[in-house]
Structure 1
Amino acid sequence: AVTDENNNLCGYIRFVENKEFVLVGLGLKPLLCGQGLGNILMKLLKNECKKRYDNKKIALEVRSFNKRAIKCYEKSGFKITDVYQRGTLIGSDKFIKMEYKRRRFKIKE
């Protein structure tokens, strides 16, 4: 959970690990969108994944209409890997799967 100085909930990050990747879920209080906090949340997410899951791929799902979130994720290095229709509690919706692959560097002597 991400809280403000008054302990009000501002956002969250959820991690679910499987064999191939870590699926993350995240959200930010709508009133706080557009203030650069999404970029901060993405940095926290990537740092926490690195600590917890080493070099595993990070994946997330986002509804296709959420253009602001998609732009934030792309700015953070996530790439679209799939687009699909999926059932939700209130019907069916179009989702986008995005993945972040950490770059590995080797030092040559």
Structure 2
Amino acid sequence: MGKPIDITVYGADQICASCVNLPSSKDTYEWLQAAITRKYGQDHINYVYVDIFSPPEKEKHQQFAQRVVDEEFFYPVVLVDNEVAGEGNPKLKTIYRMLEARGLNTLE
């Protein structure tokens, strides 16, 4: 396995208006981390949570957060190596496929 895979979740404390009855962005972030770790382990994956209303200083996070605030995406938005893997209610199967396409193998 080469360089680590980056999983970034963009979200906010408040649930988006279109996402009523879905988990919060932070809950989705924690759920994804647990599910992915169970299937693939902890090695080779970096997780980042970005609050869209107070993104960190990194320009790429600020720019993408602004796109979410501008309603280009429903949050939470999940990126795998800067590629959108899901939004609003992300699907694990889609994220798993993207991880495996990057060379990640399931635990035995």
TM-score category (smaller protein): 0.3 to 0.5
Larger % of strand: which?
A: 1
Point out the structure with max Rg over C-alpha. Answer: 1
- Provide the TM-score with structure 1 as the length reference: 0.32
Q: Write 1 or 2 for the structure with the bigger share of helix.
A: 2
